[in-house]
Chain A
């Protein structure tokens, strides 16, 4: 069984920030088809703020996630950014005081984050949002303790969930009013999660 520590979490944040350089416009373009076209720019700002956050303790994964949650919440007030902060706060509560967290815990952490985001945002599974992508990865990581296997499974799960939902309509937000027009398009939040998953693993 493998664990992850503060340095691993920080490495993921840095990889995410680096990936946003080329993902920003792609995500903006995906969002422009369904919303106001700012998903990429907003996420870039949030992830850069996270990457630049000051971590009080190098021995407390929860403190690291907590600092990241505060950085995300301060960087934006957009819905996806707030949901991002909600997920990080959930991770922070669950890993508080732990110098290392088993990789096998990742699936459970994602499930808890998914549930907290559902309560905060009001979306349900199946609505074609980032929640469906998180749910897919949470399930794919169930019982997986090997980091290499976790990476492969997470990337495959997000690719599969994008394919699965591409042919479905968006059921929440303004896009639900034009549900037929959303068939064939990727949800920008789901796409962002998939792209970041690929970039940081």
Chain B
């Protein structure tokens, strides 16, 4: 698989250099340069929101550092969590003396390292944790806490970031993030694999005429693998699975994110969106702030995910609040 890079070992750091050079609103920081933070630094009196995860998913994670979103983000090697030191740096650099929400996907490495970082800083900084758990293909509804975090975590970023900007305290920001996670469901479909820089092989193989439903953003096995179907059939099944998990008490407004995994043209995403929006309308939902584009990728993996965030008045207003980062501007 061909890649534009200089050396596999330089892939992450050179990409971070370019990302921050192209976007002066964010800078690299931390002992190993593996934290991206807002250029102006932590704001005194505001709750900090820190995230982190592995490289290879831009705009996730570092791309969402900005006003009304994340304050800091630690970043690991491709598809590996950030190390403990980077997690500690991200927490410290996000702190404006009112505590820090650690908001990241439910992956073993991320969880262990943020846990260790929080323990090491517990005498200095109060932290709370919310895990993104939106991938409905990764565990049954009965075990929803074990689900992994995928594209839907951007809703939690947006809502937590907006809440923090209001001057809310740490518990309130944490509760808003948890509410966003509880209101969000995602499922993905893969058409072709990606390859980690320096690796000899793609992360998985898929026949030319095959798709896999429910695949994870690192190529983790999905629910089924079969012949490629029409876009409407695929979007229809994805919506059916998502709506089957509509949260209890959900209202009639929903935001939808049709997300490209890296190598899927926007045209194909809009074809999926077209059918998904029809299905939502038929199901009695009105769509608020639809998002279509590459929000959480997996290198050059071909495919898409669909996320639904079921809104109440608080989530709706936090979603609409102004925000600005290199990849997402609201208001």
Q: Which residues of A contact B (CB under 8 A)?
A: 25, 28-29, 32, 34-38, 41-42, 45, 73-83, 85, 120-121, 173-175, 177-178, 181
Contacts and interface: CB of A to CB of B under 8 A. Distances in A.
Interface string B189-202: 00000001011110
Contact of A77 (B110, B139, B140, B200): B110
A174 B112 contact: no
A29 B203 CA distance: 9
A35 B139 CA distance: 15
Contacts of A41: 196, 198-199
Given A37-B204, A82-B113, A76 B80 contact: yes
B81 A78 contact: yes
Interface size bucket, B side?
A: 35 or more
A84 to B, nearest CB: 11
The 6 closest A-B pairs by CB, nearest first: A79-B108, A36-B218, A77-B81, A79-B109, A77-B76, A77-B83
A38 B204 contact: no
25 contacts: A35-B218, A35-B220, A36-B203, A37-B201, A37-B203, A38-B79, A38-B196, A38-B203, A73-B83, A74-B83, A75-B83, A76-B81, A76-B109, A77-B83, A77-B84, A77-B109, A78-B81, A80-B109, A82-B81, A82-B112, A173-B108, A174-B216, A174-B220, A174-B221, A177-B139
Contact of B83 (A28, A38, A76): A76
A186 to B, nearest CB: 16
Contacts, number: 100
Contacts of A29: 201
B199 A79 contact: no
B273 to A, nearest CB: 27
A177 B220 CA distance: 11
B204 A32 contact: yes
B199 A82 contact: no
A74 B31 CA distance: 11
A85 B76 CA distance: 16
Given A77-B86, A82-B84, A25 B200 contact: yes
A73 B82 CA distance: 10
Contacts of A75: 83
Nearest to B75: A77
Contacts of B140: 177
Contacts of A81: 80, 109
Given A32-B201, A37-B199, A73-B85, A78 B221 contact: no
Interface string B167-207: 00000000000000000000000000000101111011000
Contact of A36 (B77, B79, B83, B87): B79
Nearest to B146: A176
A32 to B, nearest CB: 6
A32 B139 contact: no
Given A32-B203, A37-B204, A174-B216, A78 B198 contact: no
Contacts of A177: 137-140, 221
Contacts of A120: 112, 115-116
A29 B138 CA distance: 21
Interface in B52-96: 54, 76-77, 79-87
B80 A181 contact: no
A34 to B, nearest CB: 8
B148 interface: yes
A47 to B, nearest CB: 15
Interface in B134-163: 137-140, 148
B118 to A, nearest CB: 13
B115 to A, nearest CB: 8
Contact of B76 (A25, A76, A121): A76
Nearest to A117: B112
B219 interface: yes
Contact of B201 (A28, A78, A174, A175): A28
Contacts of B148: 174
Interface string B231-262: 00000000000000000000000000000000
